[in-house]
Structure 1
């Protein structure tokens, strides 16, 4: 049975998979970026939880990361569209179906990356903070 953390990350990946861009989880950057863009979800760090007693509960602000990559002549517009679609997707249900207390993305810091013999890439890491509570730090 998957842990609460894994269930949340799988739900986030599922949400990203519904977007037009190709969504991967924990993969290396492929040699070719799909025309609609590429999203790679990284599990990130759960950080140090706040702990409450009676009943014992661990309150996390887990920092996952989405690597967003677009390529081509219209990469600025494509990147903006991709970020906008992520924002809209997360805003439709900030609890991922009740799995989290709250999900919020932070602003990306895009960079242009030259590629020898091909169109440049525009990429950024988009931090996503997952607020959730669990009874066991390993669960």
Structure 2
């Protein structure tokens, strides 16, 4: 039986699957990136929970990360912006991931250009997605 944390991360991954970009989870950056872009979901850190008693609950603000990468010649800034907007729309459509989370909150990206020897420059950013959820124990 998967933990609540794993169930939520799997739901976040599934939520991003319909996007035009390729969506991976905890994979290395592939050699080729499709024209629509690439998103790699990194599990991130659950952080220190707040704890309430009676009943005992651990309240997490888990910081997962989306690595967003575009490799295209002209128009890559527009393609990158469109992909970030798509991610935002997908997350806003269901801020609880089907009731698994209390709230899903993406943070604004800080895009950078990454030069690649012999290839078009990559435009990339990490989007932190804060997943608010509670569990009955830190290992559940």
TM range (shorter): over 0.9
Aligned to 2:131: 130
Gaps of 5+ in 1: none
Aligned to 1:28: 28
Q: CA RMSD in A?
A: 0.5
Offset of 1:118 from its aligned partner? 1.2
Trace 1:78-93 onto structure 2 (pairs within 5 A): 78-93=79-94
The alignment's TM-score, normalised by the length of structure 1, stands at: 0.99
Q: Work out the CA distance in 1 between the residues paired with 2:76 and 2:122.
A: 7
Offset of 1:114 from its aligned partner? 1.1
Matched positions, count: 139
Q: Work out the CA distance in 2 between the residues paired with 1:138 and 1:34.
A: 37
Q: Work out the CA distance in 1 between the residues paired with 2:31 and 2:70.
A: 12
Gaps of 5+ in 2: none
Offset of 1:82 from its aligned partner? 0.5
The alignment's TM-score, normalised by the length of structure 2, stands at: 0.98
Aligned to 1:59: 59
Offset of 1:102 from its aligned partner? 0.2
